[in-house]
Amino acid sequence: MITAYDYGIIAFYLLFMLAIGVVFRRTSKDTSDYFRAGGAMPWWLTGASAWIFSFSAWTFTGAAGKVYETGLLVLCVFYATILALLFALAFTCLRFRRMRVITWMEAVRLRYGPFTEQFYTWIKLPLLLLFAGVSLNAIGVFMSAVFKIDMATMLVVLGVVVTLVAFAGGSWAVLASDFVQAFLIVTITLCLAVLVLARPEIGGVHGLLEKVPSAHLNWSELARPELIVIWLLATLWLKFSDENNMERATMYLMTRSDRDARLMVSIPLIGTLLGPLIWFIPSMAATIMHPNLAAEFPSLAQPHEAAFVSVSLDVMPQGLLGLLLSAMLGATVTSMDAGLNKNVGIFIRSLYKPLFRPDASEKHLLVAGKVCTLVFGAIIIAVALGVNRYRHTNLFDFVNQLAANLLMPLALPLIFGLFFKRTPSWSAWSTALIAGAASWFLGEWATPANVQQWLGWTRPLTGDEATYLRLAVTTLGGTVLVGGGWFFFTSIFYQEGSATHRERVDAFFHNLETPVDKHGVQGVQTSIYRLLGGLCLVYGAFILLLMLIPNSLTGRLCFLFCGGMIFAAGAVLHRIGRTRAAQDTAAA
Protein backbone atom coordinates (compact mmCIF):
# COMPACT_ATOMS: atom_id res chain seq x y z
CA MET A 1 0.00 0.00 0.00
CA ILE A 2 1.36 3.43 -0.96
CA THR A 3 1.74 5.82 1.96
CA ALA A 4 2.35 9.51 2.60
CA TYR A 5 6.06 8.71 2.93
CA ASP A 6 6.08 7.39 -0.65
CA TYR A 7 4.44 10.56 -1.95
CA GLY A 8 7.01 12.68 -0.15
CA ILE A 9 9.93 10.65 -1.51
CA ILE A 10 8.66 10.94 -5.08
CA ALA A 11 8.13 14.69 -4.65
CA PHE A 12 11.69 15.09 -3.38
CA TYR A 13 13.00 13.06 -6.31
CA LEU A 14 11.19 15.24 -8.87
CA LEU A 15 12.62 18.37 -7.23
CA PHE A 16 16.06 16.76 -7.19
CA MET A 17 15.80 16.05 -10.93
CA LEU A 18 14.88 19.66 -11.62
CA ALA A 19 17.78 20.79 -9.41
CA ILE A 20 20.19 18.79 -11.58
CA GLY A 21 19.08 20.82 -14.57
CA VAL A 22 19.62 24.06 -12.63
CA VAL A 23 23.08 22.99 -11.41
CA PHE A 24 24.25 22.26 -14.95
CA ARG A 25 22.45 25.14 -16.68
CA ARG A 26 25.67 27.15 -17.16
CA THR A 27 27.81 24.30 -18.45
CA SER A 28 26.40 24.58 -21.99
CA LYS A 29 28.15 27.42 -23.78
CA ASP A 30 27.53 26.17 -27.32
CA THR A 31 25.74 23.38 -29.20
CA SER A 32 28.65 20.99 -28.72
CA ASP A 33 28.23 21.34 -24.95
CA TYR A 34 24.44 21.17 -25.08
CA PHE A 35 24.16 18.11 -27.35
CA ARG A 36 27.28 16.05 -26.58
CA ALA A 37 28.80 17.53 -23.39
CA GLY A 38 31.71 19.00 -25.35
CA GLY A 39 33.19 15.55 -26.08
CA ALA A 40 35.00 15.69 -22.73
CA MET A 41 33.28 13.13 -20.52
CA PRO A 42 35.04 10.30 -18.62
CA TRP A 43 34.23 6.75 -19.70
CA TRP A 44 32.49 5.67 -16.48
CA LEU A 45 29.97 8.49 -16.77
CA THR A 46 29.09 7.91 -20.43
CA GLY A 47 29.09 4.14 -19.82
CA ALA A 48 26.53 4.44 -17.03
CA SER A 49 24.41 6.70 -19.21
CA ALA A 50 24.62 4.28 -22.16
CA TRP A 51 23.46 1.41 -19.95
CA ILE A 52 20.58 3.33 -18.41
CA PHE A 53 19.54 4.57 -21.86
CA SER A 54 19.25 0.95 -23.05
CA PHE A 55 16.18 0.37 -20.90
CA SER A 56 13.35 2.39 -19.43
CA ALA A 57 10.14 1.80 -17.54
CA TRP A 58 9.30 -0.51 -20.46
CA THR A 59 11.64 -2.99 -18.75
CA PHE A 60 9.37 -2.98 -15.69
CA THR A 61 6.06 -2.86 -17.59
CA GLY A 62 6.27 -4.30 -21.12
CA ALA A 63 9.14 -6.73 -20.51
CA ALA A 64 7.80 -7.57 -17.03
CA GLY A 65 4.41 -8.39 -18.55
CA LYS A 66 6.07 -10.67 -21.09
CA VAL A 67 7.99 -12.42 -18.30
CA TYR A 68 4.67 -12.92 -16.48
CA GLU A 69 3.32 -14.64 -19.61
CA THR A 70 6.35 -16.52 -20.96
CA GLY A 71 9.00 -16.64 -18.23
CA LEU A 72 12.71 -16.77 -18.99
CA LEU A 73 12.27 -16.71 -22.76
CA VAL A 74 12.44 -12.92 -22.53
CA LEU A 75 15.94 -13.25 -21.08
CA CYS A 76 17.13 -13.98 -24.63
CA VAL A 77 16.11 -10.47 -25.67
CA PHE A 78 18.40 -8.90 -23.09
CA TYR A 79 21.25 -11.33 -23.60
CA ALA A 80 21.19 -10.76 -27.36
CA THR A 81 22.38 -7.27 -26.46
CA ILE A 82 25.56 -8.75 -24.95
CA LEU A 83 26.65 -10.14 -28.32
CA ALA A 84 25.87 -6.79 -29.93
CA LEU A 85 27.94 -4.96 -27.30
CA LEU A 86 30.88 -7.33 -27.77
CA PHE A 87 30.92 -6.41 -31.47
CA ALA A 88 30.73 -2.73 -30.53
CA LEU A 89 33.64 -3.21 -28.12
CA ALA A 90 35.77 -4.85 -30.80
CA PHE A 91 34.94 -2.66 -33.80
CA THR A 92 32.19 -0.06 -33.70
CA CYS A 93 32.93 2.03 -30.62
CA LEU A 94 36.13 3.50 -32.07
CA ARG A 95 34.42 4.31 -35.37
CA PHE A 96 31.68 6.13 -33.50
CA ARG A 97 34.11 8.36 -31.59
CA ARG A 98 36.31 9.02 -34.61
CA MET A 99 33.47 10.42 -36.70
CA ARG A 100 34.27 13.76 -35.00
CA VAL A 101 30.78 15.28 -35.27
CA ILE A 102 28.35 16.86 -32.82
CA THR A 103 25.30 14.80 -33.82
CA TRP A 104 25.14 11.41 -35.51
CA MET A 105 23.08 12.89 -38.35
CA GLU A 106 26.08 15.00 -39.35
CA ALA A 107 27.97 11.73 -39.82
CA VAL A 108 25.24 10.62 -42.24
CA ARG A 109 25.98 13.73 -44.29
CA LEU A 110 29.71 13.03 -44.30
CA ARG A 111 29.16 9.42 -45.39
CA TYR A 112 26.26 9.75 -47.84
CA GLY A 113 25.82 13.44 -48.64
CA PRO A 114 23.38 16.30 -47.89
CA PHE A 115 20.35 14.73 -49.61
CA THR A 116 20.59 11.55 -47.51
CA GLU A 117 21.03 13.67 -44.39
CA GLN A 118 17.77 15.47 -45.15
CA PHE A 119 16.04 12.18 -46.02
CA TYR A 120 16.99 10.69 -42.66
CA THR A 121 16.23 13.89 -40.77
CA TRP A 122 12.67 14.17 -42.08
CA ILE A 123 11.94 10.51 -41.45
CA LYS A 124 13.86 9.86 -38.23
CA LEU A 125 12.65 12.87 -36.27
CA PRO A 126 8.96 11.79 -36.27
CA LEU A 127 9.98 8.19 -35.50
CA LEU A 128 12.23 9.22 -32.62
CA LEU A 129 9.46 11.36 -31.17
CA LEU A 130 7.09 8.39 -31.52
CA PHE A 131 9.41 6.10 -29.57
CA ALA A 132 9.95 8.75 -26.90
CA GLY A 133 6.16 8.88 -26.54
CA VAL A 134 6.05 5.09 -26.21
CA SER A 135 8.66 5.30 -23.40
CA LEU A 136 6.59 7.93 -21.62
CA ASN A 137 3.52 5.74 -22.01
CA ALA A 138 5.39 2.85 -20.36
CA ILE A 139 6.11 4.78 -17.16
CA GLY A 140 2.54 6.08 -17.24
CA VAL A 141 1.28 2.48 -17.06
CA PHE A 142 3.41 1.85 -13.99
CA MET A 143 2.61 5.05 -12.14
CA SER A 144 -1.09 4.97 -12.99
CA ALA A 145 -1.39 1.41 -11.66
CA VAL A 146 0.14 2.46 -8.34
CA PHE A 147 -1.55 5.79 -7.74
CA LYS A 148 -4.90 4.89 -9.35
CA ILE A 149 -4.69 8.18 -11.27
CA ASP A 150 -6.04 8.69 -14.77
CA MET A 151 -3.37 7.79 -17.34
CA ALA A 152 -3.78 11.00 -19.33
CA THR A 153 -3.15 13.18 -16.27
CA MET A 154 -0.16 11.09 -15.27
CA LEU A 155 1.40 11.32 -18.74
CA VAL A 156 1.12 15.12 -18.83
CA VAL A 157 2.71 15.55 -15.38
CA LEU A 158 5.60 13.19 -16.15
CA GLY A 159 6.19 14.68 -19.60
CA VAL A 160 6.45 18.21 -18.21
CA VAL A 161 9.05 17.17 -15.60
CA VAL A 162 11.20 15.35 -18.17
CA THR A 163 11.05 18.25 -20.61
CA LEU A 164 12.11 20.80 -17.99
CA VAL A 165 15.13 18.68 -16.95
CA ALA A 166 16.33 18.35 -20.55
CA PHE A 167 15.61 22.05 -21.21
CA ALA A 168 17.64 23.33 -18.29
CA GLY A 169 20.84 21.34 -18.49
CA GLY A 170 21.14 19.68 -21.90
CA SER A 171 23.42 16.66 -22.22
CA TRP A 172 25.33 17.55 -19.02
CA ALA A 173 22.16 17.24 -16.93
CA VAL A 174 21.23 14.04 -18.78
CA LEU A 175 24.57 12.41 -17.94
CA ALA A 176 24.52 13.52 -14.31
CA SER A 177 20.98 12.29 -13.71
CA ASP A 178 21.80 9.00 -15.46
CA PHE A 179 24.66 8.31 -13.07
CA VAL A 180 22.57 8.87 -9.96
CA GLN A 181 19.71 6.82 -11.42
CA ALA A 182 22.04 3.91 -12.23
CA PHE A 183 22.92 3.55 -8.55
CA LEU A 184 19.31 3.98 -7.47
CA ILE A 185 17.92 1.40 -9.91
CA VAL A 186 20.54 -1.23 -9.10
CA THR A 187 20.23 -0.91 -5.31
CA ILE A 188 16.45 -0.65 -5.08
CA THR A 189 15.71 -3.51 -7.49
CA LEU A 190 18.26 -5.69 -5.68
CA CYS A 191 16.44 -4.99 -2.41
CA LEU A 192 13.11 -5.84 -4.06
CA ALA A 193 14.42 -9.14 -5.40
CA VAL A 194 15.70 -10.16 -1.95
CA LEU A 195 12.40 -9.19 -0.30
CA VAL A 196 10.42 -11.19 -2.87
CA LEU A 197 12.56 -14.32 -2.52
CA ALA A 198 12.23 -14.12 1.26
CA ARG A 199 8.44 -14.39 1.12
CA PRO A 200 7.23 -17.76 2.47
CA GLU A 201 4.98 -18.37 -0.54
CA ILE A 202 8.04 -18.03 -2.80
CA GLY A 203 10.72 -19.82 -0.76
CA GLY A 204 13.91 -18.54 -2.38
CA VAL A 205 15.23 -19.15 -5.89
CA HIS A 206 14.61 -22.91 -5.69
CA GLY A 207 11.02 -22.40 -4.59
CA LEU A 208 10.40 -19.82 -7.29
CA LEU A 209 11.60 -22.13 -10.06
CA GLU A 210 9.51 -24.98 -8.66
CA LYS A 211 6.25 -22.99 -8.41
CA VAL A 212 6.18 -20.91 -11.60
CA PRO A 213 4.16 -22.28 -14.56
CA SER A 214 6.05 -25.05 -16.38
CA ALA A 215 5.95 -23.06 -19.64
CA HIS A 216 8.22 -20.45 -18.04
CA LEU A 217 11.08 -22.93 -18.13
CA ASN A 218 9.95 -25.26 -20.95
CA TRP A 219 9.69 -22.97 -23.97
CA SER A 220 8.30 -25.66 -26.25
CA GLU A 221 4.99 -25.25 -24.40
CA LEU A 222 4.85 -21.63 -25.58
CA ALA A 223 5.42 -22.11 -29.28
CA ARG A 224 6.84 -24.45 -31.90
CA PRO A 225 10.63 -24.74 -31.40
CA GLU A 226 11.39 -23.71 -34.99
CA LEU A 227 9.41 -20.49 -34.55
CA ILE A 228 11.22 -19.72 -31.31
CA VAL A 229 14.57 -20.22 -33.07
CA ILE A 230 13.82 -17.81 -35.91
CA TRP A 231 12.36 -15.33 -33.42
CA LEU A 232 15.61 -15.50 -31.45
CA LEU A 233 17.62 -14.87 -34.64
CA ALA A 234 15.43 -11.88 -35.45
CA THR A 235 15.87 -10.56 -31.91
CA LEU A 236 19.63 -10.95 -32.21
CA TRP A 237 19.63 -8.82 -35.36
CA LEU A 238 17.38 -6.21 -33.75
CA LYS A 239 19.79 -5.79 -30.84
CA PHE A 240 22.87 -5.90 -33.07
CA SER A 241 21.55 -3.19 -35.35
CA ASP A 242 20.40 -1.11 -32.40
CA GLU A 243 23.86 -1.06 -30.80
CA ASN A 244 25.99 -0.78 -33.94
CA ASN A 245 24.44 1.82 -36.23
CA MET A 246 25.50 5.45 -36.48
CA GLU A 247 22.54 6.64 -34.43
CA ARG A 248 24.02 4.92 -31.38
CA ALA A 249 27.12 7.14 -31.64
CA THR A 250 25.63 9.88 -29.45
CA MET A 251 27.06 8.58 -26.16
CA TYR A 252 30.41 7.68 -27.70
CA LEU A 253 30.79 11.19 -29.11
CA MET A 254 30.70 12.49 -25.54
CA THR A 255 33.88 10.64 -24.56
CA ARG A 256 37.28 12.30 -24.72
CA SER A 257 39.34 9.59 -26.50
CA ASP A 258 39.46 6.20 -28.19
CA ARG A 259 40.39 4.61 -24.87
CA ASP A 260 37.37 6.08 -23.11
CA ALA A 261 35.06 5.06 -25.95
CA ARG A 262 36.18 1.45 -25.57
CA LEU A 263 36.15 1.42 -21.77
CA MET A 264 32.61 2.79 -21.58
CA VAL A 265 31.23 -0.37 -23.24
CA SER A 266 32.21 -2.42 -20.18
CA ILE A 267 29.47 -0.86 -18.03
CA PRO A 268 26.46 -1.72 -20.24
CA LEU A 269 28.04 -5.15 -20.81
CA ILE A 270 28.15 -5.94 -17.08
CA GLY A 271 24.78 -4.28 -16.45
CA THR A 272 23.06 -6.26 -19.21
CA LEU A 273 24.58 -9.51 -17.96
CA LEU A 274 23.46 -9.14 -14.33
CA GLY A 275 20.50 -6.74 -14.39
CA PRO A 276 17.82 -8.98 -15.96
CA LEU A 277 18.55 -11.77 -13.49
CA ILE A 278 17.45 -9.37 -10.74
CA TRP A 279 14.57 -7.66 -12.55
CA PHE A 280 12.85 -10.87 -13.65
CA ILE A 281 12.38 -12.22 -10.11
CA PRO A 282 9.36 -10.03 -9.12
CA SER A 283 7.58 -10.63 -12.44
CA MET A 284 7.98 -14.40 -12.21
CA ALA A 285 6.89 -14.31 -8.57
CA ALA A 286 3.73 -12.46 -9.65
CA THR A 287 2.51 -15.63 -11.36
CA ILE A 288 2.40 -17.22 -7.90
CA MET A 289 1.31 -14.25 -5.80
CA HIS A 290 -1.07 -12.67 -8.33
CA PRO A 291 -2.37 -15.28 -10.77
CA ASN A 292 -5.28 -13.06 -11.90
CA LEU A 293 -3.95 -9.57 -12.59
CA ALA A 294 -6.89 -8.77 -14.87
CA ALA A 295 -9.22 -8.76 -11.85
CA GLU A 296 -6.84 -6.61 -9.80
CA PHE A 297 -6.12 -3.98 -12.47
CA PRO A 298 -9.28 -3.77 -14.59
CA SER A 299 -8.50 -0.22 -15.73
CA LEU A 300 -5.34 -1.31 -17.59
CA ALA A 301 -5.66 -2.39 -21.22
CA GLN A 302 -2.89 -4.96 -20.62
CA PRO A 303 -3.19 -5.96 -16.92
CA HIS A 304 -0.19 -8.33 -17.03
CA GLU A 305 2.02 -5.23 -17.46
CA ALA A 306 1.33 -4.54 -13.77
CA ALA A 307 3.14 -7.77 -12.74
CA PHE A 308 6.19 -5.96 -11.36
CA VAL A 309 4.25 -3.29 -9.51
CA SER A 310 1.76 -5.76 -7.99
CA VAL A 311 4.55 -7.66 -6.22
CA SER A 312 6.24 -4.41 -5.22
CA LEU A 313 3.06 -3.30 -3.46
CA ASP A 314 3.09 -6.56 -1.49
CA VAL A 315 6.63 -6.60 -0.16
CA MET A 316 7.89 -3.03 0.03
CA PRO A 317 8.03 -1.41 3.50
CA GLN A 318 6.87 2.16 4.00
CA GLY A 319 8.78 4.61 1.83
CA LEU A 320 10.69 2.01 -0.15
CA LEU A 321 7.94 1.84 -2.76
CA GLY A 322 8.35 5.57 -3.30
CA LEU A 323 12.04 5.00 -3.85
CA LEU A 324 11.27 2.23 -6.35
CA LEU A 325 8.85 4.47 -8.22
CA SER A 326 11.53 7.15 -8.31
CA ALA A 327 13.88 4.61 -9.88
CA MET A 328 11.26 3.65 -12.48
CA LEU A 329 10.63 7.30 -13.22
CA GLY A 330 14.36 7.87 -13.49
CA ALA A 331 14.73 5.07 -16.02
CA THR A 332 12.17 6.68 -18.29
CA VAL A 333 13.48 10.18 -17.67
CA THR A 334 16.84 8.91 -18.90
CA SER A 335 15.42 7.34 -22.03
CA MET A 336 13.17 10.26 -22.83
CA ASP A 337 15.45 13.18 -22.02
CA ALA A 338 18.39 11.57 -23.84
CA GLY A 339 16.11 10.99 -26.81
CA LEU A 340 14.75 14.52 -26.52
CA ASN A 341 18.25 15.99 -26.41
CA LYS A 342 19.30 13.88 -29.39
CA ASN A 343 16.21 14.80 -31.43
CA VAL A 344 16.70 18.51 -30.79
CA GLY A 345 20.35 18.19 -31.81
CA ILE A 346 19.35 16.64 -35.12
CA PHE A 347 16.73 19.32 -35.78
CA ILE A 348 19.07 22.21 -34.99
CA ARG A 349 22.25 20.93 -36.67
CA SER A 350 20.75 19.12 -39.67
CA LEU A 351 17.56 21.03 -40.45
CA TYR A 352 17.32 24.45 -38.83
CA LYS A 353 20.91 25.56 -39.42
CA PRO A 354 21.51 24.36 -43.02
CA LEU A 355 18.04 25.21 -44.36
CA PHE A 356 16.94 28.29 -42.41
CA ARG A 357 19.89 29.95 -40.62
CA PRO A 358 23.18 28.83 -42.22
CA ASP A 359 25.00 31.85 -40.75
CA ALA A 360 23.57 31.56 -37.25
CA SER A 361 25.97 31.98 -34.34
CA GLU A 362 26.50 29.30 -31.72
CA LYS A 363 24.66 31.44 -29.19
CA HIS A 364 21.64 31.68 -31.47
CA LEU A 365 21.65 27.93 -32.12
CA LEU A 366 21.88 27.23 -28.39
CA VAL A 367 18.81 29.37 -27.68
CA ALA A 368 16.96 27.80 -30.59
CA GLY A 369 17.84 24.36 -29.23
CA LYS A 370 16.33 25.17 -25.84
CA VAL A 371 13.13 26.50 -27.39
CA CYS A 372 12.94 23.41 -29.58
CA THR A 373 13.32 21.23 -26.47
CA LEU A 374 10.10 22.67 -25.06
CA VAL A 375 8.25 22.18 -28.35
CA PHE A 376 9.44 18.60 -28.78
CA GLY A 377 8.54 17.84 -25.16
CA ALA A 378 4.95 18.91 -25.86
CA ILE A 379 4.88 16.72 -28.98
CA ILE A 380 6.13 13.70 -27.03
CA ILE A 381 3.39 14.17 -24.43
CA ALA A 382 0.78 14.31 -27.22
CA VAL A 383 2.21 11.14 -28.78
CA ALA A 384 2.11 9.32 -25.42
CA LEU A 385 -1.55 10.27 -25.04
CA GLY A 386 -2.26 8.95 -28.54
CA VAL A 387 -0.42 5.67 -27.89
CA ASN A 388 -2.41 5.22 -24.68
CA ARG A 389 -5.67 5.71 -26.55
CA TYR A 390 -5.07 3.50 -29.57
CA ARG A 391 -2.65 0.76 -28.40
CA HIS A 392 -4.34 -2.64 -28.28
CA THR A 393 -1.35 -5.00 -27.96
CA ASN A 394 1.18 -5.48 -25.16
CA LEU A 395 4.11 -3.08 -24.89
CA PHE A 396 6.74 -5.76 -25.42
CA ASP A 397 5.51 -6.95 -28.83
CA PHE A 398 4.34 -3.44 -29.76
CA VAL A 399 7.84 -1.94 -29.34
CA ASN A 400 9.61 -4.85 -31.05
CA GLN A 401 7.35 -4.79 -34.09
CA LEU A 402 7.58 -1.00 -34.38
CA ALA A 403 11.37 -1.27 -34.37
CA ALA A 404 11.34 -4.05 -36.98
CA ASN A 405 9.00 -2.23 -39.37
CA LEU A 406 10.24 1.33 -38.98
CA LEU A 407 13.73 1.53 -37.48
CA MET A 408 15.60 -1.50 -38.81
CA PRO A 409 15.29 -0.65 -42.55
CA LEU A 410 16.70 2.81 -41.77
CA ALA A 411 19.47 1.37 -39.60
CA LEU A 412 20.84 -1.00 -42.25
CA PRO A 413 22.91 1.59 -44.22
CA LEU A 414 24.01 3.16 -40.93
CA ILE A 415 25.69 -0.14 -40.00
CA PHE A 416 27.14 -1.28 -43.32
CA GLY A 417 28.25 2.25 -44.18
CA LEU A 418 30.70 2.23 -41.28
CA PHE A 419 32.63 -0.69 -42.78
CA PHE A 420 31.96 -0.72 -46.54
CA LYS A 421 32.77 2.44 -48.49
CA ARG A 422 32.22 1.61 -52.16
CA THR A 423 28.56 2.60 -52.51
CA PRO A 424 27.03 5.63 -54.29
CA SER A 425 25.44 8.51 -52.40
CA TRP A 426 21.93 7.19 -53.09
CA SER A 427 22.64 3.75 -51.62
CA ALA A 428 21.44 4.65 -48.10
CA TRP A 429 18.03 6.17 -48.80
CA SER A 430 17.24 3.66 -51.55
CA THR A 431 18.17 0.75 -49.24
CA ALA A 432 15.96 2.14 -46.49
CA LEU A 433 12.99 2.45 -48.85
CA ILE A 434 13.41 -0.99 -50.41
CA ALA A 435 14.00 -2.71 -47.07
CA GLY A 436 11.01 -0.93 -45.57
CA ALA A 437 8.75 -1.89 -48.48
CA ALA A 438 9.95 -5.50 -48.37
CA SER A 439 9.38 -5.69 -44.61
CA TRP A 440 5.87 -4.32 -44.97
CA PHE A 441 4.99 -6.65 -47.86
CA LEU A 442 6.32 -9.76 -46.11
CA GLY A 443 4.64 -8.77 -42.88
CA GLU A 444 1.29 -8.44 -44.66
CA TRP A 445 1.78 -11.79 -46.37
CA ALA A 446 2.86 -13.68 -43.25
CA THR A 447 -0.62 -14.12 -41.82
CA PRO A 448 -1.22 -17.24 -39.72
CA ALA A 449 -3.47 -18.69 -42.43
CA ASN A 450 -0.95 -18.14 -45.25
CA VAL A 451 1.96 -19.55 -43.27
CA GLN A 452 -0.04 -22.53 -42.09
CA GLN A 453 -1.04 -23.36 -45.67
CA TRP A 454 2.46 -22.76 -47.08
CA LEU A 455 4.17 -24.98 -44.51
CA GLY A 456 1.43 -27.59 -44.47
CA TRP A 457 0.88 -27.37 -40.72
CA THR A 458 -2.36 -28.86 -39.45
CA ARG A 459 -2.36 -27.14 -36.07
CA PRO A 460 -3.21 -23.40 -36.28
CA LEU A 461 -0.68 -20.84 -35.06
CA THR A 462 -1.26 -19.37 -31.63
CA GLY A 463 -1.22 -15.63 -31.07
CA ASP A 464 2.36 -15.69 -29.77
CA GLU A 465 3.50 -17.88 -32.65
CA ALA A 466 2.00 -15.46 -35.15
CA THR A 467 3.81 -12.57 -33.43
CA TYR A 468 7.15 -14.41 -33.43
CA LEU A 469 6.77 -15.32 -37.09
CA ARG A 470 5.85 -11.81 -38.19
CA LEU A 471 8.86 -10.32 -36.40
CA ALA A 472 11.23 -12.87 -37.94
CA VAL A 473 9.84 -12.51 -41.47
CA THR A 474 9.92 -8.71 -41.50
CA THR A 475 13.37 -8.49 -39.88
CA LEU A 476 15.33 -11.37 -41.43
CA GLY A 477 13.52 -11.48 -44.76
CA GLY A 478 12.64 -7.87 -45.49
CA THR A 479 15.53 -6.03 -43.85
CA VAL A 480 18.53 -8.36 -43.81
CA LEU A 481 18.07 -10.34 -47.04
CA VAL A 482 16.30 -7.87 -49.35
CA GLY A 483 17.66 -4.63 -47.88
CA GLY A 484 21.18 -5.94 -47.35
CA GLY A 485 21.28 -7.45 -50.81
CA TRP A 486 20.25 -4.15 -52.39
CA PHE A 487 22.83 -2.13 -50.43
CA PHE A 488 25.74 -4.24 -51.67
CA PHE A 489 24.26 -4.39 -55.18
CA THR A 490 24.54 -0.59 -55.43
CA SER A 491 28.33 -0.89 -55.12
CA ILE A 492 28.57 -1.60 -58.88
CA PHE A 493 27.57 2.05 -59.43
CA TYR A 494 30.19 3.51 -57.08
CA GLN A 495 32.61 4.61 -59.80
CA GLU A 496 29.79 6.28 -61.72
CA GLY A 497 29.12 8.63 -58.83
CA SER A 498 30.53 12.14 -58.55
CA ALA A 499 34.13 12.78 -57.62
CA THR A 500 32.86 14.97 -54.78
CA HIS A 501 31.07 12.01 -53.22
CA ARG A 502 34.13 9.76 -53.47
CA GLU A 503 36.34 12.44 -51.91
CA ARG A 504 33.84 12.95 -49.07
CA VAL A 505 33.69 9.21 -48.41
CA ASP A 506 37.49 8.96 -48.45
CA ALA A 507 37.69 11.78 -45.90
CA PHE A 508 35.05 10.08 -43.73
CA PHE A 509 36.94 6.78 -43.68
CA HIS A 510 40.20 8.61 -43.06
CA ASN A 511 38.63 9.98 -39.88
CA LEU A 512 37.53 6.48 -38.89
CA GLU A 513 41.13 5.32 -39.13
CA THR A 514 42.60 8.28 -37.19
CA PRO A 515 42.69 7.89 -33.38
CA VAL A 516 41.21 10.49 -31.03
CA ASP A 517 43.32 11.45 -28.02
CA LYS A 518 41.84 14.66 -26.72
CA HIS A 519 43.85 16.78 -24.30
CA GLY A 520 43.14 20.03 -22.53
CA VAL A 521 39.89 19.06 -20.84
CA GLN A 522 41.19 18.26 -17.35
CA GLY A 523 39.42 21.24 -15.81
CA VAL A 524 36.12 20.07 -17.25
CA GLN A 525 36.57 16.60 -15.81
CA THR A 526 37.53 18.03 -12.42
CA SER A 527 34.31 20.05 -12.23
CA ILE A 528 32.28 16.96 -13.20
CA TYR A 529 33.76 14.98 -10.30
CA ARG A 530 32.92 17.71 -7.81
CA LEU A 531 29.43 18.51 -9.10
CA LEU A 532 28.40 14.89 -9.48
CA GLY A 533 29.93 13.96 -6.14
CA GLY A 534 27.94 16.70 -4.45
CA LEU A 535 24.68 15.53 -6.04
CA CYS A 536 25.28 11.93 -4.91
CA LEU A 537 26.09 13.10 -1.38
CA VAL A 538 22.84 15.06 -1.17
CA TYR A 539 20.61 12.30 -2.51
CA GLY A 540 22.43 9.58 -0.58
CA ALA A 541 22.04 11.54 2.66
CA PHE A 542 18.32 11.99 1.95
CA ILE A 543 17.85 8.22 1.54
CA LEU A 544 19.81 7.52 4.73
CA LEU A 545 17.47 9.86 6.63
CA LEU A 546 14.57 7.66 5.49
CA MET A 547 15.80 5.06 7.98
CA LEU A 548 13.83 7.14 10.52
CA ILE A 549 10.54 6.02 8.93
CA PRO A 550 8.83 3.55 11.31
CA ASN A 551 9.66 0.25 9.62
CA SER A 552 10.95 -3.16 10.57
CA LEU A 553 14.69 -3.77 10.76
CA THR A 554 14.59 -5.17 7.22
CA GLY A 555 13.03 -1.98 5.89
CA ARG A 556 15.62 0.20 7.63
CA LEU A 557 18.45 -1.96 6.29
CA CYS A 558 17.10 -1.47 2.74
CA PHE A 559 17.36 2.30 3.13
CA LEU A 560 20.82 1.92 4.64
CA PHE A 561 21.99 -0.13 1.67
CA CYS A 562 20.52 2.16 -1.02
CA GLY A 563 21.51 5.43 0.61
CA GLY A 564 24.89 4.16 1.74
CA MET A 565 25.89 3.07 -1.77
CA ILE A 566 24.95 6.41 -3.32
CA PHE A 567 26.51 8.43 -0.49
CA ALA A 568 29.75 6.41 -0.68
CA ALA A 569 29.94 6.98 -4.46
CA GLY A 570 29.44 10.70 -3.90
CA ALA A 571 32.17 10.83 -1.25
CA VAL A 572 34.66 9.12 -3.54
CA LEU A 573 33.84 11.38 -6.49
CA HIS A 574 33.99 14.53 -4.37
CA ARG A 575 37.36 13.55 -2.93
CA ILE A 576 38.77 12.84 -6.39
CA GLY A 577 37.47 16.21 -7.57
CA ARG A 578 39.14 18.05 -4.69
CA THR A 579 42.42 16.21 -5.28
CA ARG A 580 42.39 17.01 -9.00
CA ALA A 581 41.51 20.64 -8.33
CA ALA A 582 44.50 20.93 -6.01
CA GLN A 583 46.73 19.33 -8.64
CA ASP A 584 45.44 21.75 -11.31
CA THR A 585 46.13 24.70 -9.01
CA ALA A 586 49.62 23.48 -8.24
CA ALA A 587 50.36 22.93 -11.93
CA ALA A 588 49.18 26.44 -12.73
Q: Let me know if 163 is exposed, middle or buried by CB neighbors in 10 A (0-12, 13-18, 19+).
A: buried
Q: pTM, whole model, 2 decimals?
A: 0.81
pLDDT tens-digit map of 440-486: 888 788 777 777 777 777 778 777 777 788 878 888 888 899 999 99
Which of 494, 145, 479, 123 minimizes the C-alpha distance to 301?
145
**In this predicted model, which residue has the larger pLDDT, 368 or 395?**
368
pLDDT tens-digit map of 251-277: 888 888 899 999 999 999 998 888 888
pLDDT tens-digit map of 378-392: 888 888 888 777 655
Residues 6+ apart with CB under 8 A from 167: 21, 370, 373, 374, 377
- CATH of span 4-17+41-390+397-518: 1.20.1730.10
At 520, the pLDDT band (50, 70, 90 cuts) reads very low
pLDDT tens-digit map of 411-420: 999 999 999 9
Domain ranges of the chain: 4-17+41-390+397-518
pLDDT tens-digit map of 12-58: 887 887 777 677 666 555 555 555 555 667 888 888 878 877 766 66
Alpha carbon of residue 219 to chain centroid: 27
Give the mean pLDDT of 131-145. 72
